[in-house]
Structure 1
Amino acid sequence: MALTQLGLAHELNDRQVHPDAHGRIPVLYITVPPAATARMIAAEFARFLGLPVHRRLNTSDIIEAVVGVCTSARTGLVIVDEVHNISLSTRQGAEVSDTLKYFSERIPATFIYAGIDIEHSSILSGTRGSQIAGRFTLIPTHPFPYNDEWKGLVKTMEDTLLLHHHKPGTLADLDRYLHDRTGGMIGALSHQIRGAAIDAILTGTEKITRDGLEGIPLDVTATTQAPRPRRART
């Protein structure tokens, strides 16, 4: 969820900087499927851009089409999620790594790889792994502390809501509650707000309230991260 929020923030910023520009695709996001091949990765890029993927097209054809669109559409951020599905110990995994490397060399954009336990996976081992390690900075993710950055995150998410009866600032006023509830996990925060927004649409209230947030189940990570209620002293 953090990645999608990052992509959204980048796209919103791009629209503010270039309000009159048309045909821009600021962000490209794909997920690496299990047992992926080089063609599957190229096809994921193409599908995000709405490009056709015919059987008669070889991998090089798809890659060239993707590079052409990304270049003309001024794509500035490419997010590749679930990279832990890439195993450099297999031929297919090595070819996937090479394909992503080729994309990063051809598309003038910032590339972000995300996955689980990457520092201990094969994606950073061997010759190819050392090339990846030399091109990227490893940023471990941790729960957000309750600070101005967290408050800004809640406000940013609230600003993207399109609910007719939602009062701006409602979630900002609940930022401490949301932090306690989610344990500072951005994925859990996104899940809470999105779930409450969907319920608000389905019920017709068109607004998010604390009661509405209470009705959204927490994910497992948030349950383990969230602080336990303090016992009252007597």
Structure 2
Amino acid sequence: MSDHLFDRVRPILDRSVEERVAYIRAPRWIGHPVAKDSHQRLADLLARPASLRTQGLMLVGPYANGKTMIAERFAVNHLRTSPEQKVWIVQTREGAGLGHFYASMLQALRAPGGDMWSVGRKAEQLDHLLASIRPRVIIFDEFHNALRGRARDIEAIFAFLRRIGRQFDISPVLVGEVAIYDFVSATSEMASRFDLMAVPRWQYDESYLMLLDSLEAAVPLAKTSDLSDEPLARRIFSLSEGLIGEIVAIVTKASVAAIRSGTERITKAGIDELRHIPVSHRRNAALRECLL
């Protein structure tokens, strides 16, 4: 009855409803080919020889497509296996200018002074920290937040990224939306410093169907749902618009509903009952009109 589940998942069937729901809702790593390739590219940056002109990486794709999870998973795996922390993640703050950008880095490096006004003092503190900590790779998540200011501010940020490569032997990794690719590719000088690792939307193909099979095997439902069969696979793909975050969210919600209802399987009718609105339709959703 539970042959459709991974071996590690089968024992979860014997737990209470709330325990199974908590298991389903927990963050889940999905090692799909793009994620594995991204980790290899990041590992190559970590293992590279010292250089005065370090190479960086752009991890670019649409919102809700797993880019942050890829970066965080790599950083966590590094911490588990390395005696020294050589990979740091910076959550890039919203707001224009070097001040906001430096504050993001100071916060990520767990340093006080991120809210001080002087940009010059922040720069001095950052230089001292980078010289002391000696990171090898710095991942700037949501880097597109730093690209919404004046042209001279954006150029100053890119100049900073070039300098930390030359002065501290750091490879910057820029994670975010397509605006990153546009800005980096605007000049040959910056384009030559960053390789691209694209995280595109999923296509309706064999890889997508395999993803659905993996998700089905990872959620503790007593009955087989056959997620990769038509028309269920098509329905999930249509609602998710090929975004892995949306695919996982739909399967998670449908799984929880199946447990609570006692049906123990995901069906097309169950998916429809979720009333899931695709990302591209949410701004014009009928529900929004009720809020005015």
| Class of the TM-score when normalised by the shorter of the 2 chains | 0.5 to 0.7
Aligned to 1:137: 195
Aligned to 1:147: 206
Distance 2:197 2:155 in 1: 23
* Cα displacement string for residues 155-212 of structure 1 (whole angstroms, at most 9, x for unaligned residues): 58x97xxxxxx62899996466444541321242355467x49x96xxx99xx97458
Distance 1:187 1:218 in 2: 14
Contact 2:139–2:174 (CA under 8 A) maintained in structure 1: yes
> Which is further off, 177-186 or 37-46?
177-186
Aligned to 1:183: 241
**Aligned pair partner of 1:96 in 151, 157, 162:** 157
**Aligned pair partner of 1:116 in 151, 174, 178:** 178
Contact 1:67–1:103 (CA under 8 A) maintained in structure 2: no
Quote the RMSD (CA, aligned, Å): 4.6
The verdict on how the C-alpha distance between 1:222 and 1:183 changes in structure 2, with shifts beyond 3 A counting, is: farther
Q: Is 1:6 aligned to residue 75 of structure 2?
A: no
The verdict on how the C-alpha distance between 1:137 and 1:24 changes in structure 2, with shifts beyond 3 A counting, is: closer
* Secondary structure at 1:98 match in 2: helix
> Which is further off, 131-140 or 78-87?
78-87
Q: How far did 1:117 drift?
A: 4.2
Q: How far did 1:33 drift?
A: 2.4
TM-score, length basis structure 1: 0.59
Distance 1:76 1:153 in 2: 33
Greater length-normalized contact order (CA 8 Å, ≥ 6 residues apart): 2
Q: Is 1:34 aligned to residue 87 of structure 2?
A: no
Distance 1:41 1:49 in 2: 13
What does residue range 71-82 of structure 1 map to in structure 2 within 5 Å?
Answer: 71=135, 76=137, 78-82=139-143
Contact 2:75–2:89 (CA under 8 A) maintained in structure 1: no
Matched AA of 1:7 = A
Aligned to 1:167: 220
Contact 2:90–2:141 (CA under 8 A) maintained in structure 1: yes
Unaligned runs of 5+ in 1: 160-165, 224-234
Unaligned runs of 5+ in 2: 1-63, 283-292
Aligned to 1:52: 112
Q: How far did 1:76 drift?
A: 4.3
* Cα displacement string for residues 193-232 of structure 1 (whole angstroms, at most 9, x for unaligned residues): 67x49x96xxx99xx9745896373442488xxxxxxxxx
Q: How far did 1:132 drift?
A: 1.5
Distance 2:195 2:101 in 1: 22
* Secondary structure at 1:137 match in 2: strand
Distance 2:95 2:83 in 1: 35
Question: How many aligned positions are there?
Answer: 200
Distance 1:184 1:209 in 2: 22
Distance 2:164 2:178 in 1: 22
Q: How far did 1:6 drift?
A: 0.9
The verdict on how the C-alpha distance between 1:38 and 1:5 changes in structure 2, with shifts beyond 3 A counting, is: same
The verdict on how the C-alpha distance between 1:51 and 1:91 changes in structure 2, with shifts beyond 3 A counting, is: same
Aligned to 1:231: none
Distance 1:64 1:70 in 2: 10
Contact 1:7–1:77 (CA under 8 A) maintained in structure 2: no
Contact 1:154–1:172 (CA under 8 A) maintained in structure 2: no
The verdict on how the C-alpha distance between 1:193 and 1:42 changes in structure 2, with shifts beyond 3 A counting, is: farther
Q: Identity of paired residues, percent?
A: 12
